[in-house]
Amino acid sequence: MPLVTTKELLLDAQNRGYAVGAFNVENMEMVQAVVAAAEELNSPVIMQTTPSTVKYADLAYFYANVKVAAEKASVPVVMHLDHGDSFELAMRALRTGYTSIMIDGSHESFEDNIKVTKAVVDACHPSKVPVEAELGKVGGKEDGLDGGNGGYTDPQEALQFVEATKVDSLAVAIGTAHGVYKGIPKLDVERLSEIRKVVEVPLVLHGTSGVPDEAVKECVKRGICKVNYATDLRIAFTKGVKEYISANPNVFDPKKYNALGREYVKQYVMSKMCVCGSKGKAI
């Protein structure tokens, strides 16, 4: 089916108490793996690229891969810009055909975050493309993103931010971090519940690779509708490639070792779709 937007998917997730998994893809095999997982579980899915991934190739390369995969699929697929770091990049993604845009102004002041987010919302909404923003700061460092030690989302600021920007979904900072965790993260789920009480739009959890599954389930129960995974997909793909080459040191055909990486990503994505509760929820 054609690519869809996050608007309907996340509202359905919010109404039915599950979350949609959002998976960062770096190459064709990862795109294939994520769609194969969604098809097998009859799950909606979001695929996304960060600014550094886009720099490595181009918005159009990744869009074309995901567009083809979506057209061959029987489940809803979204193409999302993750952590868009400027108004200009957000507009390039919109013109390319991305069906969901994130503008991340969390490194700016509260007022400047509102300003850039509202500008992107005003530009995207006439095309019926939804916008995600971030308030507070998800910590950690990965893929050119540096959240430092992070900063928690204030519930009342979240209410003010959503009302001022008319954003469609909001990524909140409750103790997760980007990249590889050095220990087990401790999430402030009570803060999440307080945000959910005052904010009506779907909430998003970033930095979820490495977060225990039970903690993610608790966050979904408390209102998270979109869960982002990135680092662990890379780890799964690389593990498959390394294993194949180690067992077959004379291999020179990338199709052979990439295929095992693809299979490992598929299995990982399926497991996280089950954690999010999206199995069987394709609409």
State the catalytic residues: 82
State how far the Cα of 216 lies from the Cα of 278, in Å rounded to an integer.
13
User: What pairing do the DSSP bridges indicate for beta strands 139-142 and 131-135?
Assistant: unpaired
- Reported as half-sphere exposure (CB side, CA atoms, 13 A), residue 55 has a value of 7
Paired strand residues for 204: 171, 226
State how far the Cα of 49 lies from the Cα of 24, in Å rounded to an integer.
6
